[in-house]
Amino acid sequence: MTAKPQPVRKRKHSRLPLLAQAGPVSAWMILFVTIPLLYIIYISFMTRGTFGGVEHEFSITSYQTLLDVTYFKVIEKSFRAAVITTLLCLLLGYPFAYYIARKPADVASRLIMLIMIPFWTNSLMRLNAWMLLFQTNGPVNNLLLALGWIDAPKMFIYSDWLVMLGLVTNMLPFAVLPMYSSIEKLKKSLLEASADLGARPAKTFMRVTLPLTFPGIFSAIILTFIPALGIYTITDMLGGGKVLYIGNIIKNQFGAIRNWPLGAALSVLLLLITALLIFIYTRFARIEDMEVL
Amino acid sequence: MKALADAIVKLLHVDKWFGNNHVVKDLNLEIQEGEFLTLLGPSGCGKTTTLRMIAGFEDATGGSIEVQGERIEDKEPYQRDVNTVFQNYSLFPHMTVFDNVAYGPSIRKEPKAEIKKRVTEMLELVQMSGYEKRKPEALSGGQKQRVAIARALINNPRVLLLDEPLGALDLKLRKQMQIELKRLQRKLRITFVYVTHDQEEAMTMSDRIAVMRDGVILQLGHPMDIYDHPTSRFVADFIGESNVFEGVVKAVNGELLTVETASGMAETQGSGFSVGEELYVSIRPEYLSISREPVTGFDLPARVKDFIYMGTVVKTSLDLADGKEIKYSRFEADATLREGETVYVHWDTHKSVAIKKEAEVEAS
């Protein structure tokens, strides 16, 4: 117990380290997140230069362009792809994460290694591998032909579903890892307690496992949905630029088309949608957390 | 002594192997309806494994387990009519106290009003009324354990399994909970199977204690029986404090044995021993007597080493002729004893116990 006159001194002491701790983080955040973000917003309100680039003249032309129905469709399509990717990642990732989490530590780390290896492989190489596998005279088509399941080679590449395959395989580690760490933390004795109180495994899963691993599921959703929404390499290569997603359009505006303000406006829109979703989701998650039974 | 029909839990030739580890060895145990039975032993003795086999969390490698005359080895934990109170409480952290206690009945889809009534009753029983809306994280260790007990008892189990439920509590609270648990058990007349490594706890609460070591029950009996008549050196040492002498029987006179120990000649009662046989003689510190003069019969000369004041008792350490240190305890300080003084130790031969050496060999 400290005596009464102490607090003044104590406050000074605790304030300094707090600043010292937050300082570098704030500086880092301002430098690498806030400033670039503000710059993007700034550009989105500027005018497109005749030969590309940006003319520093205020305009809302970019945002007006966004109202075009074409963009709405692209956004809708991107959303649907991201939602489906996220759902598939959860459905495929959760059982796998659960399986790993229930293995002894040494086996678990080896299994995690297995999902990390493709993750560490160059993504262009990975995408090219998918292309090779699925091209018109590739192994998949040849196999299906040999089995007699199809009469003529199918055009798998540059299709929506190959994009989906690419997205899911690319995002799966991001879904598995947070769910794994959440499931791994789940105490086995809680499952035993549930069984002891008469709950069958399915009941135990719904009432104990799922609610307690929700933080991991939530992280998995955030970590797969947001990149899936904005990614353009996968959609570019596997979709062949034929199927347009919001990520491709942004990339094209900054690249080939050189309409920076429009690209920036699209980015801002994407950002707002994402932020809104996260906001809704956290609200929803908190309510969920409160009324489990 | 007790009719076999009374046994509510029967373990017959139960074996448990974890890989190459033989954790429970051919265990036979009959637990009577309504009794408070404690499995007592050091860590790794197989007591928790035995409990977990009854609960269904572990499968027995061999043998059979019966509850109320019905074999349950093939039943899943959720099908068994027993409930468990876990060492780490294992309350569901995402549920309130109310929902934790209501878990069992709500799984069985009992009517809501009935559940509410039962939960209220149970929380009253464990003196946790008013905590319904708290989350487990907002409870102290003792409170968590009360909720865990209520959560198990609400299911009206025939047998309640308790796995070191008080292990994480501080001493004072533990002592209080021991008495409460014992009273609760008396009141509800539910069979309690209790696992602990704390011999004092076992002595305080149990109707019967099964002392376990290395997967084997060394001794099963009433706490007082075990205390006064340990049948192995391990039990003598593990339950309470004991002075154990190693010796050889020199003479047998009816039930009275004369034993030669390294500290001198001593006597004890004992049956089934023959001259020349090696044995242990165990005597409790509180059963020793001390005298300034040699005593008729037998005595072991000793030197007073030091005193420990424990509040209610005074423990005196004595060095015997061969350097062996023994403990002597009295309720009040013997003011006349001086450190370094030579005294003569003896005891009532009915209070000492002769322990066969084979008993020890068998156990290990």
Q: Tokens representing A172? A: 């799966």
Are the Cβ atoms of A198 and B107 closer than 8 angstroms?
yes
What is the three-class DSSP state of B54? helix
pLDDT for residue B226: 93
What is the three-class DSSP state of B53? helix
What is chain B's mean pLDDT, rounded?
Answer: 90
Q: Are B27 and B63 in contact (CB under 8 A)?
A: yes
In chain A, which residue's Cα lies nearest the Cα of B97? A293
pLDDT for residue A5: 43
Chain B segment 74-113 residues within 8 A of A by beta carbon are: 76-78, 82-84, 86, 88, 90-96, 99, 102-104, 106-108
d(CA B257, CA B298): 12
What is the least distance, in Å, from the CA of B160 to any CA of chain A?
A: 11
Question: What's the pLDDT band for B181 if we cut at 50, 70, 90?
Answer: very high
**A93 vs A154, more confident:** A93
DSSP state of B291: E
Neighbours of A92 (CB within 10 A): 15
In chain A, which residue's Cα lies nearest the Cα of B82? A196
Per-residue pLDDT tens digits for A197-219: 999 999 999 999 999 998 889 88
Whether chain A has a CB inside 8 Å of the CB on B152: the answer is yes
pLDDT for residue B338: 81
Question: What's the pLDDT band for A19 if we cut at 50, 70, 90?
Answer: low
Question: What's the pLDDT band for B363 if we cut at 50, 70, 90?
Answer: very low
Burial class from Cβ neighbours inside 10 Å (0-12, 13-18, 19+) for residue A273 reads middle
d(CA A171, CA A289): 26
- C-alpha distance from residue B195 to each of A194, A235, B84, B166 (Å): 20, 61, 11, 10
* Cβ-nearest to B88 among A189, A194, A212: A189
Sheet holding B314-320, edge to edge: B288-291, B342-347, B300-309, B314-320, B325-330
Question: What's the pLDDT band for B250 if we cut at 50, 70, 90?
Answer: very high
pLDDT for residue A131: 87
* pTM greater than 0.95 (yes/no): no
Chain A segment 149-188 residues within 8 A of B by beta carbon are: 187
pLDDT at B336 over 50: yes
d(CA A79, CA A74): 8
Q: Tokens representing A70? A: 């074409």
Q: Are B105 and B182 in contact (CB under 8 A)?
A: no
Q: What is the mean pLDDT of residues B184-196?
A: 94
Are the Cβ atoms of A198 and B155 closer than 8 angstroms?
yes
Per-residue pLDDT tens digits for A38-69: 999 999 998 888 777 788 888 888 888 888 88
Amino acid B296 reads T
Q: Tokens representing A30? A: 């301002």
Are the Cβ atoms of B103 and A289 closer than 8 angstroms?
no
CA A61 to chain centre: 30
Residues 6+ apart with CB under 8 A from A190: A208, A212, B90, B92, B93
Are the Cβ atoms of A197 and B93 closer than 8 angstroms?
no
**A266 vs A123, more confident:** A266
Domains in chain B, CATH or no CATH each: 7-234 (3.40.50.300), 235-291+299-363 (2.40.50.100)
pLDDT for residue B240: 87
Per-residue pLDDT tens digits for B202-232: 999 999 999 999 999 999 999 999 999 999 9
Per-residue pLDDT tens digits for B116-139: 999 999 999 999 999 999 999 999
Question: What's the pLDDT band for A82 if we cut at 50, 70, 90?
Answer: very high
CA B329 to chain centre: 22
pLDDT at A243 over 90: no
pLDDT at A170 over 50: yes
pLDDT at A244 over 50: yes
Q: What is the mean pLDDT of residues A162-191?
A: 91
Domains in chain A, CATH or no CATH each: 33-289 (1.10.3720.10)
Per-residue pLDDT tens digits for B259-305: 999 988 899 998 889 898 999 999 999 999 888 888 888 889 999 99
Indicate the pairing of strand B7-18 with strand B159-163.
unpaired
pLDDT for residue A158: 82
Q: Are A227 and A171 in contact (CB under 8 A)?
A: yes
Q: What is the mean pLDDT of residues A176-195?
A: 92
The full DSSP string for chain A is ---TTTHHHHHHHHHHHHHHHHHHHHHHHIIIIIHHHHHHHHHHTSEEPBTBSEE-----HHHHHHTSHHHHHHHHHHHHHHHHHHHHHHHHHHHHHHHHHTS-HHHHHHHHHHHHHHHHS-HHHHHHHHHHHHSTTSHHHHHHHHHTS-SS----TTSHHHHHHHHHHHHHHHHHHHHHHHHHHS-HHHHHHHHHTT--HHHHIIIIIHHHTHHHHHHHHHHHHHHHHH--HHHHHHSTTTS--HHHHHHHHHTTS--HHHHHHHHHHHHHHHHHHHHHHHHHHHHHHH---
pLDDT for residue B297: 82
pLDDT for residue A287: 46
pLDDT for residue A97: 93
d(CA A25, CA A4): 34
Contacts 24+ apart (CB under 8 A), A39-46: A40/A264, A40/A267, A40/A268, A41/A264, A41/A268, A43/A260, A43/A261, A43/A264, A44/A261, A44/A264, A44/A265, A44/A267, A44/A268, A45/A261, A46/A260, A46/A261
- The interface predicted TM-score (ipTM) is 0.84
Q: Which of B49, B86, B94 to mutate to test the interface with A (most CBs of A within 10 A)?
A: B94
* Cβ-nearest to A193 among B90, B99, B108: B90
Q: Are B184 and B125 in contact (CB under 8 A)?
A: yes
What is the least distance, in Å, from the CA of B86 to any CA of chain A?
A: 8
pLDDT for residue A155: 81
Q: Tokens representing B305? A: 């080493």
pLDDT at B78 over 70: yes
In chain A, which residue's Cα lies nearest the Cα of B103? A197
pLDDT at A283 over 70: yes
d(CA A209, CA A188): 10
Q: Tokens representing B253? A: 């006179």
What is chain A's mean pLDDT, rounded?
Answer: 83
Q: What is the mean pLDDT of residues A176-193?
A: 92
